[in-house]
A = this chain, B = another copy of it.
């Protein structure tokens, strides 16, 4: 094989991979699948897409082996092919947060509006956990909590939080987490808790970040 042909082939394949990532909806799909598997219908609903459109984007991701399908009944459950997919998504995210001023600005605007500017990092949370003076709150949907969560975390999906706020243990600081830095659940939860007089802050990252750092996690099988 020719040297030139070799390079063209390898870099061409990798560019194809990058192309599969190069669409807002497909990045959102990856962000969702990093939590737990989902049907086409669920994805379409979450992202406000038509089924056909969601299906097409999933085909593209499948075409470069980033996701797999498991067919059950007449549902197609899509899931990420590999933890490395999350790794790429994370490093792209970090690069973006560092290099694109626009992202940081948008993030700050949104957070200040939700009154949850001060976020805690995973490292800071780990310290607090050692001292055992923190309540960890997972506000993602139950299915995602069951698929994996921070050990000891309480599961209260965001849409039940207002009703179940009384059940929270008192006297300890509350740290809320959700899907990741671009997920708004935690921000909404912090806003709600603070309005009710409960001191709270959000975790900067989300569960997939916890998991990919090889920290221990719990999962609840069906």
Contact = CB atoms under 8 A, between A and B. Distances in A.
Contacts of A107: 10
Interface in A94-129: 94-96, 98-100, 102-103, 106-107, 109-110, 113
Given A13-B100, A65-B99, A18 B28 contact: no
A56 to B, nearest CB: 16
A66 B100 CA distance: 9
A96 B16 CA distance: 10
Interface residues on A, range: 35 or more
A178 to B, nearest CB: 13
A84 B91 contact: yes
A49 interface: no
A92 B14 contact: yes
Which of A14, A15, A88 has most B Cβ within 10 Å? A14
Contacts of A113: 1
B95 A85 contact: yes
B64 A100 contact: yes
A164 interface: no
11 contacts: A7-B184, A9-B102, A12-B24, A14-B27, A14-B93, A14-B100, A17-B100, A18-B27, A19-B19, A22-B22, A81-B99
Given A11-B25, A19-B22, 18 more contacts: A1-B109, A1-B110, A3-B184, A9-B106, A11-B31, A13-B96, A13-B106, A14-B93, A14-B100, A18-B21, A18-B23, A21-B21, A21-B22, A66-B99, A82-B95, A82-B98, A84-B99, A85-B99
